[in-house]
Structure 1
Amino acid sequence: MTVYSYPGSFRIGVARHAIASAYGTHDGAVEPKLQLVVLLSGHQRFLLDHVGFDLDARRAPAALMLRIARRVALRYDFSAGSPLVKVALAMPVDWLHQVGRDASALLPRREKDLAWAAWRPERVLCRLAGALAAEPDDLPRMALGLELLEAALAELARGAPRETAPVEAVRRYVHRHAGRAPSAEEVARACGIGLRTLERLMMKTEGRSLGTFLRDLRLDAAVEALHERQVTVAEAAWIAGYSSAANFATALRRSRGVSPGALRAAGAPRQA
């Protein structure tokens, strides 16, 4: 990522890479800051300490605002995109307080020293992020960055993350029932939302059908189990909801461009 620094420790990062599929790309640390990330295309999963984040912009851009109050460990679990295009703004934790603003009240999710909101950005925010990704001249870049921050705060104030709450509930339910492949009707009922309403919301926020979303979630869980827990291919197939390891392997190659054996080997502990 190319990072541009401005007065007041305001930073703008722009990344544009072609990544087929990269698992466990690198570890590091993140210092305290307020950060806005807009993923315009591609897919990334990462952990801050033990809190996982999944930015999936394969069908529609994804946005994430984070308030990190202390130094945390960073681990990128998965990255892919043809290309992967990401714009990030970073500033000191109290940067908005200096101009009479407070992002904390707009970030509904909290765990220890992390607060965050994840949502599907609206058209204006996507347009501004796209303009930043095009890397304009230096002065317009800073102005665009500030405008992007203002647009994100406006979307959060309007309650954009509330639309994604049922989607997060679906993620949690499918994760808790890995291997059982619950039906769309069961998932909607368990999450307390009508099936048709959930299907419409899924298309609006995720840009894909509920069935496709459930299938992708199960495949994500199987990938994590193969790479992180070193389960067998048969066990991973069960987690993904496939009765046949061969069918699972075919689906994994088609979706992620990698075989189960290669993925499992990539996550194997390194020998001293």
Structure 2
Amino acid sequence: MRLLPESTLDNAAHSNSVNREQLIAAVAPHRPHYRVERPDVASNVAILSGHFRIDCLREGLRTKCVDVVDLYDMRTEATLEEGLSLVVLVAGHAQACFGSKPVVLGASGQPDGALIALAEPEQFVRHSRRGNHERKVVVTMSPAWLDASGLDADGLASFRRHHLNVHRWRPSTRATTIAQQMIHPPVFSAALQHLYIESRALELVTESFVDLFTPPPEDNNKLAPRVRARITALCEWLDSGAADDLDLAAIARHAGLNASSLQQQFHAIQGMSIFAYQRSRRLDAARTALARDGLSVTQAAELAGYSSAANFATAFRRRFGVSPSTAARAK
């Protein structure tokens, strides 16, 4: 785990473990009243395993890049300052409360995003369970930085005025790739890496604001709850791996629809085709296997359903911004 002082950008990527004292020392300078509640574990016992970095990019703009596994059930608390918090969950599951507002990300097993408005300082509580994995990027924007952006004319002011306003959106494939690049950036000089992280953070902010300012498509609004429930159940079935060797016609029969209707409904809710969804899930599984289970690139390619290691490497780099060999070295 990388625990960086405010002015440092370290290019070394590696996995490690961190105990409660180390976690508090890394986070407390950025979050007032930060504490970790795990009374039955000694302060020098590892409670997280993985990758963690906080970058203060400029006055009022900060990022936190996380790829960790919780080793214990825990509760962390902090006081968040006024502003906007943008969360992009690439993989795993995240559960937290912003004051009285619970925010759960990753319930569908897909990348997830939320923009949370804080019109005043508020308590933040994160609940975690042993074995839970979070791969995410958090971008924190202060009121001064937002005021300087000049975006209030586009409707941001109204969103910001309502304390604990939450806007949910599904990050695009590009956004999840950008988040992956921020979590595991290439090796640059400190100045170039600072510019690299900031440019990608601004892209994530831009996509979330565009989604906030754009009304949902009319057809998607009219989808009946039973349609959404059907697609949610189908995603859970796809995630189980039961459909990995089935064609579209067989998947459609399982869902009780014809193939055309199923593809239309699935794309309207998930923003991608069924097979794109499966490819994304398999690549996520391959990356986890490379980083944590010690699989070779060839074995990971087979796990992802690629007969060609070169094609796998191309798809992997497009999805995560790094090569499979780089992901394997980061374990």
TM-score by length of 1: 0.54
CA RMSD of aligned residues (A): 4.0
Cα offset, 1:2, TM superposition: 1.7
Could you list the runs of 5+ residues in structure 1 that have no partner in the other structure? 174-194, 209-272
Contact 1:3 1:14 (8 Å CA) reproduced: yes
Show CA shifts across 1:202-237 (max 9, x none). Answer: 8516999xxxxxxxxxxxxxxxxxxxxxxxxxxxxx
Q: Distance in 2 between matches of 1:160 and 1:74?
A: 29
Could you give the per-residue CA deviations for residues 96-123 of structure 1, whole angstroms, max 9, x where no partner exists?
Answer: 2212113983699899622220111112
Evaluate the alpha carbon distance shift between residue 111 and residue 158 of structure 1 in structure 2; reply closer, same or farther with a 3 A threshold.
closer
Please, which of 16, 30, 36 is the counterpart of residue 86 of structure 2? Answer: 36
Summarize the Cα distance change of 1:80–1:39 in structure 2 as closer, same or farther, 3 Å threshold: farther
Q: Give the corresponding residue for 1:204.
A: 270
- Choose which of 197, 200, 203 in structure 2 pairs with 1:147: 203
- Give TM-score scaled by structure 2 length: 0.46
SS at match of 1:113: coil
Amino acid at match of 2:63: I
* Partner amino acid, structure 1, of 2:146: L
Partner of residue 11, structure 1: 62
Contact 1:119 1:164 in 2 (8 A): no
- Larger relative strand fraction: 1
Rate the CA distance shift 1:12–1:162 in 2: closer, same or farther, 3 A.
farther
> Does the C-alpha gap of structure 1 residues 78 and 161 become closer, same or farther in structure 2, counting only changes over 3 Å?
farther
* Partner residue in 1 for 2:34: none
**Structure 1's 19 and 166: CA in aligned 2 closer, same or farther, altered over 3 A?**
farther
Percent identity over the alignment is: 20
- Any idea what the Cα deviations from partners look like across 1:113-149, whole Å, max 9, x if unmatched? 2222011111221221121111342221112212221
Q: Name 1:86's counterpart in structure 2.
A: 136
**CA pair 57-104 structure 1, distance change in 2 beyond 3 A:** farther
Report what 1:55 is aligned to. Answer: 105
Q: CA deviation at 1:62?
A: 0.5
When residues 69 and 7 of structure 1 are mapped into structure 2, their CA distance, relative to the original with a 3 A threshold, is: same
Q: Which amino acid aligns with 2:114?
A: L
Q: What are the residue-to-residue correspondences of 1:251-270 with 2, within 5 Å?
A: none
- Give 1:19 shift: 3.0
Q: Please state how far the C-alpha of 1:66 moved relative to its aligned partner.
A: 1.3
> Aligned ranges for residues 1-272 of structure 1 at < 5 Å?
1-19=52-70, 23-56=73-106, 59-78=109-128, 83-102=133-152, 105=155, 113-136=163-186, 137-159=193-215, 200=266, 204=270
**CA deviation vs aligned residue, 1:127-181 (integer Å, no higher than 9, x gap):** 21121111342221112212221222223333359998789x89xx9xxxxxxxx
- Partner residue, 2:317: none
Give the letter for the 1:200 counterpart: F
